[in-house]
Every structure is written in C-alpha cells, then in structure tokens.
Chains A and B, each alone.
Chain A
Amino acid sequence: MSTPNPTSQRPRTIVEKIWDDHVVAPGTDGAPDVLGIDLHLVHEVTSPQAFDGLRERGLRVRRPGQTVATVDHSIPTTDRSLPIVDEIAAKQVSRLEENCREFGIPLHGIGSPHQGIVHVIGPELGLTQPGMTIVCGDSHTATHGAFGALAFGIGTTEVEHVLATQSLLQRRPKTFEVRVDGQLHPGVTAKDIILSLLSRIGIGGGTGHVFEYRGTAIRAVGMEGRMTICNMSIEGGARAGLVAPDDVTFEYLAGRPHAPQGADWEAAVAAWRRLPTDDGATYDRSIAFDAGELTPMVTYGTNPGMGFPITERIPDPARLADANQRDSLSAALEYMALTPGEPILGKAIDVVFVGSCTNSRISDLREAARMIRGRHVADSVRMMVVPGSTEVKRQAESEGLAQVFRDAGAEWREAGCSMCIAMNGDQLQPGQYSVSTSNRNFEGRQGKGGRTFLASPLTAVASAVTGRLSDPRALL
C-alpha cells in the first residue's frame, strides 16, 4: 500500500521518504503508484525508439528542462576532430542530435566541454541532488544514489513514458540494508567493498530491493567512492542503491553549475538533512561486514558475483553441492580458461582498462596515477585510461595526471564508455585477458571471446606494470 503524505510518525527509511515525496497518483485497483521523476538522463543507445514512439503518437517531451542528453556508449574515444568511422554508430549519434533538436532537449554532444558518461556528468554538473528521483535508460543509473537520490535504470518503453509524462508506473521496492563499518586498509578501496558485497550475496541477491549503504566505511570513502559502490548495485540485482546525504555530499555539491545557490542552497540543505533513515525504521533485509577484514578483490568468473580476495585460488566446481551452481561455475571457468586450485595472482594479462561509470572519476585517476608514477606498463600489456567525462579529462590534464599515464606507456583517451561495453571499437580480441575497473565480466562484454577480471584501479595499475594479476599492496 502506498502512503502519499503520511502524517503518522512511523519511522521511515530514506527510500520510503523519497518515494512518499514523489507519488503523483497512488496505485489503486491493483495498479502501481505513479512516481514523479525529477531528472531524466538520456543517451544515444536506449532512446531512438522512444523518440519514434513520441512521434507516432504526436506527443512532445513534457519537461525538457528536467531532461538532459549526452553521447557516451557508441562514440570513439580517439581524436574527436575526426568523423565517426563506424557508420551505424555515426547514424545513432546524429539521430540523438536530431531528436534533441526536435524535442528541445539540451544535449552535451561531441565537442561539448560537458560531454561524458551520463553517470559522470550528472553529478559533475550538480544535476544529481539528494532526495531526487532520477532515471535513465541504463542499468548503472544507481550511481546517482551516492547523493541520496532514488536513481534507477529503465527500459526504452519507460524512457518514452518519462519523456511524455515525466512520470513512471512503479511498484514500491523492498529495502536492503548494507552496513559496512570499520576502516579499509591501505590498498583496499570502495571497489573492493562492492565486489565483496557481490561475492557474498550473488548476482541476484538484491533482486526486488533497493540497497541502502550505511556505516562508517561508506561515510569514509568520499563521494566518488560512494558512486563506485552505488554504481554496481544492479550487479547484485538491485535496481537502485543509495547512501544518505551528509556534509560530505553537500560539500561535493556546493558551487556546481546546477546546485542551488544562496538562500535556495540553505533551504535545500535543511531539507536534505531530513532525508536520512529514521532511527527505528526497519529494512526487509540486512547484511553487515567489516571493512577492516577486506583485501583487494578480483573476479574470476563470468558474472560480477564470482569474485574473491585476490590472494585466493580458483574454486573447484566439484566441491559445490548444488548442481546448478556447479554447472555455472564450470561454464565460467571454461570460458575464462582457468583451472580449479590455481592461484589467480600471477595470471598473465593482455589489457588493462581504467575507465567506465564505475571508476573513471578524477579521484580514480589520481589514485591510479599515484601508483603508476615512475613505473612503466609491462611490454606485454596494453593499458588504456579513459576519463569518464571531458571535464575529468581536462582536470586530469591540468593536474599532470595525463602525462604521468603517457610517460608510463598507457594510452590517454577521450571520454566515453569505451571498453566497458565495447560498442565503439575499443575491445578485447578473442582469448585476451583484461584487468578492468568496469562493472561487468559477462562473456564477451569487452569484446567477443574476451576474458575480464574486474578489480579496483589500484589492482589494475599493479597488474599493468607487472603484466600479471597483482596485489596492489605490494606496490604501495
């Protein structure tokens, strides 16, 4: 049952508060609630059929000023002054340009200083704010949850619904508390927290739920670390994951182009301070672990839940009691060409990818640059560094980070999704191994036949310089 503006003092979670604030029409007679959407992010891949749907019905975009578009998935990350060679990708990009022009939507296209991965530019521009509902035709939309927003991925039909009505039919989700207290050791990062969670609950463990990440370790990783964690909520099956806003959030937001200013800022912060989950509120599920017990994590299989501490050995399917799990693990190890019992440390690798909406922000690049400075990428390895946005690229260049990467023998590229999704020509060759800071190690995700080890930027750099999967703590 939905409770649009409850007057009771029942303690509520942040998810319930945001939900209650956004009910346009409560679900009646078996229908879901209709939820108002504060911000709709649009990109070239999941939107063309939605715009066609609007045209077929003669509809306009209801709220262009709450909509923003960019290009990220299918664009090259090479010289931007050149035309896009891939004709199909070029057509998709020009279609987005035409659609934005026709429907009056602001577009940060190629050449714009604000172009970038959609989940990087929203926070960067201050568009992502606490308490909002944010959607995008992309499953990594939960990234924006780092600000205490309810942000989730939608399909193209729903993209059309939001374009036309700025609202969505939604069932109220269940809540899942993820509490991580304690303190991370040096060399262990936000990425390791989320990979550890996924290894504990599995790829479907959060289905039907929204994660609320809490605890001292979540508070301590900063906004960009929180974005890394929230980003991969979908890898645990949760459409959304969020962190209640605090002073760290407000400090990150203050002064950004679309953040409230002056008296509006003070009023906004006062409202945002009321968002955190009330004492006594309950969750449908909970899990807790201690950050101090974590080591650098890496995946060995073909979904993000198949991960373990980098010091472990490849698990043996024969030891699994459940036949389905045994089959899944066997298929994964066959694809990855890994042998039960072998250590993963020291596995020779071909490509290192630092980038994606998970780990391509300035703090990720600073961390990676700090480790690679004065070292060199192994001869056998190709290392690509792809900043998350044109602004991150500019900032990294002005801080000298780009030169550090180039001096180390890494490729420094233009902003985009790149080898996370391998739609744009940045891809693995069949059989190659990558260490990737991205979010998915599904079969073929980084190129047909490619094999992905997901890890943190530090683990990626350590592996790049040694040419083998390596524990970053040895290089600190």
Chain B
Amino acid sequence: MTGLSREPFRSVTSAVVPFPRNDIDTDQIIPARFLKTVNRAGLGEQLFFDWRYLPDGTPNSDFILNQPSMAGRAVLLAGDNFGCGSSREHAPWALMAWGIRAVVSSSFADIFRNNALKNGLLPIAVAPEVLDRLFALVETDPATSITLDLEAQELRLPDGEAIGFEVDSFARRMILDGTDELGYLLNLEPQIAAYEASHPARVDTLHA
C-alpha cells in the first residue's frame, strides 16, 4: 500500500498579503461555528470570517483580504506566533482554499505548523528582523513579489537577495515528491506489527 499522491510542489512566487498582527489564532482564521462541516467545502469563503465581514454580512473594506489587489496572492506575511490555539486543520484548509500556498512569519504554533505541512501549505519561519524587513518592503511597494523556494530552502527578494530558511526535512521531502505521510507509515507495517507484539494494548475500549 502506498500513499496517495498529490502535485509535487517546489516553489511559489507571488506578491504578498501583509497582515502584521501577532498571535493570529485559529479561531480567527476560521471561527468555530464553521467546524460543523463534515467535508472541506466552502472553507475559503469562511477564512478570517469575523474580521472579513461586518455584522450585517457585507465585506469589511478595511480588512486586508477584501482589498481587490489581494486577489490571487499566494503568500501571507503575518506577525509572530501564527496559528496559535485550537488544533483545527480547517485553518490550513481554509487558507489554501482561498489560495494561500505559504505563510511567512517569525514563528508558528506547533500544531498549526504540522497541519500546514501535511497539506503542502508552507509555514516559513524567518528571523524577526527579516520579517520586519519584509513588511517594510511591502509597505514601500505593495506589489513586491517574493519567491519561496522549498527545494533550495530560500526566500528570494526581487533584487535577487536570497535568505535561507529551515523547514522540517521529512515534510520537505514529502511535499517536493508529492507523496503523503500515511503512505510512509503504512509501509512500516512490519515494524508496527513487531511493536504491537512487544507492547500489549494498555486498555481495551471495547470491553470494560
């Protein structure tokens, strides 16, 4: 049994959506009332819903995603500790459904980072001073386009400057190859069976 494959992903080049706010939690990325879904449909519409729409349901024109020039941009530039809070994988699903392929911040919450990588959404952590520079660049020229090259592990600026970034080596390989981690785990069947033989189940939920 092998994993399902998806499109291999190497790099993305895009203008950015600047959102210089720290500690953006997953309740903001996708409010909990939208988690009653049993599939992944419609999540792009619900991304940042309570910031994106006014109480009467009309778009909040002050919110960054509602600016017409943001349409089609694939990189989100966000403040520190992006994705904190709940474990909902609906957060990366919603970002990707809107069109985001990479989030650049100075740090990410652990569960969000894992969830993002498992979906091929790149959580790219850069040093705080690099993040400040990127925000400044985009403020000067809102159309600034950057490249996130997963293969080279480089963030490249329009003038050609390359800034290296760290990313989980295993997740990187999975995304570059377009394979998924469940396939990898399923291929470890002999090891899992051996572990189970030497580690009897601690509980049996089927019988009290």
The verdict on B181 contacting chain A, using a C-beta distance below 8 Å, is yes
Main secondary structure of the interface of B (DSSP, over half): loop
The verdict on B191 contacting chain A, using a C-beta distance below 8 Å, is yes
The verdict on B179 contacting chain A, using a C-beta distance below 8 Å, is no
Q: Within 8 Å CB of B111, what residues of A? A: 139, 153-155, 234, 239
A24 to B185 CA separation, bound complex (whole angstroms): 11
The verdict on B109 contacting chain A, using a C-beta distance below 8 Å, is yes
The one of A129, A207, A430 in contact with B55, judged by C-beta atoms closer than 8 angstroms, is A430
The verdict on B140 contacting chain A, using a C-beta distance below 8 Å, is no
Stretch of A165-173, A177-185, A351-359, A400-408 on the interface side: A165-173
List B residues 36-81 near A (Cβ within 8 Å): 36-40, 50, 55, 79-81
The one of B109, B195, B205 in contact with A204, judged by C-beta atoms closer than 8 angstroms, is B109
The distance from the CB of B196 to the nearest CB of chain A, in whole angstroms, is 8
B36 and A331 within 8 A (CB): no
The verdict on B154 contacting chain A, using a C-beta distance below 8 Å, is no
B38 and A46 within 8 A (CB): no
Chain A 89-103 interface 0/1 with B at a Cβ cutoff of 8 Å (1 = within): 101100100000000
Stretch of A65-73, A223-231, A380-388 on the interface side: A65-73
A169 and B181 within 8 A (CB): yes
Residues of A within 8 A of B (CB-CB), count: 85
A68 to B203 CA separation, bound complex (whole angstroms): 11
Q: Within 8 Å CB of A448, what residues of B? A: 31, 50, 55
Say yes or no: A66-B201 contact (C-beta < 8 A), given A49-B38, A430-B55: yes
Q: Within 8 Å CB of A234, what residues of B? A: 85, 111
User: Which B residue sits closest to A259, measured CB to CB?
Assistant: B203
Q: Within 8 Å CB of B33, what residues of A? A: 422-423
B203 and A39 within 8 A (CB): yes
The verdict on A127 contacting chain B, using a C-beta distance below 8 Å, is yes
User: Which B residue sits closest to A91, measured CB to CB?
Assistant: B38
Q: Within 8 Å CB of B79, what residues of A? A: 324
The distance from the CB of B201 to the nearest CB of chain A, in whole angstroms, is 6
Stretch of B6-14, B21-29, B95-103 on the interface side: B21-29
Stretch of A28-36, A370-378, A464-472 on the interface side: A28-36
Q: Within 8 Å CB of A62, what residues of B? A: 192
The distance from the CB of B102 to the nearest CB of chain A, in whole angstroms, is 18
Assign chain B's interface to a size class.
35 or more
Q: Within 8 Å CB of B28, what residues of A? A: 442-444
Q: Within 8 Å CB of A144, what residues of B? A: none
Stretch of A156-164, A273-281, A309-317 on the interface side: A156-164
The verdict on A38 contacting chain B, using a C-beta distance below 8 Å, is yes
The verdict on A124 contacting chain B, using a C-beta distance below 8 Å, is no
A366 to B184 CA separation, bound complex (whole angstroms): 49
A25 to B188 CA separation, bound complex (whole angstroms): 8
Chain B 137-180 interface 0/1 with A at a Cβ cutoff of 8 Å (1 = within): 00000000000000000000000000000001110010000000
Q: Within 8 Å CB of B181, what residues of A? A: 157, 161, 169
A127 and B203 within 8 A (CB): yes
A36 and B109 within 8 A (CB): no
B22 and A328 within 8 A (CB): yes
A443 and B50 within 8 A (CB): yes
A324 and B80 within 8 A (CB): yes
The verdict on A203 contacting chain B, using a C-beta distance below 8 Å, is yes
B185 and A161 within 8 A (CB): yes
B23 and A203 within 8 A (CB): yes
A258 and B206 within 8 A (CB): no
Chain A 339-379 interface 0/1 with B at a Cβ cutoff of 8 Å (1 = within): 00000000000000000000000000000000000000000
Q: Within 8 Å CB of B205, what residues of A? A: 39, 64-68, 105-106, 127, 258
A465 to B206 CA separation, bound complex (whole angstroms): 45
User: Which A residue sits closest to B39, measured CB to CB?
Assistant: A49
A157 to B20 CA separation, bound complex (whole angstroms): 29
A132 and B202 within 8 A (CB): yes
The verdict on B186 contacting chain A, using a C-beta distance below 8 Å, is yes
B21 and A327 within 8 A (CB): yes
A169 and B170 within 8 A (CB): yes
A139 and B87 within 8 A (CB): yes
A325 to B22 CA separation, bound complex (whole angstroms): 8
A423 and B36 within 8 A (CB): yes
User: Which A residue sits closest to B106, measured CB to CB?
Assistant: A324
Q: Within 8 Å CB of A328, what residues of B? A: 21-23
User: Which B residue sits closest to A445, measured CB to CB?
Assistant: B27
The one of A52, A73, A440 in contact with B35, judged by C-beta atoms closer than 8 angstroms, is A73
The one of A36, A46, A443 in contact with B27, judged by C-beta atoms closer than 8 angstroms, is A443
A67 to B205 CA separation, bound complex (whole angstroms): 6
Q: Within 8 Å CB of B182, what residues of A? A: 53, 57, 157, 160-161, 164-165
The verdict on B86 contacting chain A, using a C-beta distance below 8 Å, is yes
A73 to B22 CA separation, bound complex (whole angstroms): 27
The verdict on B130 contacting chain A, using a C-beta distance below 8 Å, is no
Q: Within 8 Å CB of B206, what residues of A? A: 64-65, 106
B191 and A423 within 8 A (CB): no
Q: Within 8 Å CB of A476, what residues of B? A: none
By a beta-carbon cutoff of 8 Å, the part of chain A in contact with chain B is: 21-22, 24-25, 27, 30-32, 34, 36, 38-39, 45-46, 48-49, 52-53, 56-57, 59, 62-68, 73-74, 86, 88-89, 91-92, 95, 105-106, 125, 127, 129, 132, 137-139, 153-158, 160-161, 164-167, 169, 171, 203-204, 207-208, 234, 237, 239, 257-258, 303, 324-325, 327-328, 331, 421-423, 430, 440, 442-445, 448-449
Contacts A155-B111, A258-B205 supplied; 17 other A-B pairs, CB < 8 Å: A24-B191, A24-B192, A27-B170, A38-B203, A45-B36, A65-B206, A65-B207, A92-B36, A127-B203, A154-B87, A161-B181, A207-B107, A237-B81, A239-B111, A257-B208, A423-B32, A423-B36
Closest 7 interchain pairs by CB?
Answer: A155-B115, A155-B89, A204-B81, A30-B169, A48-B38, A153-B87, A156-B89
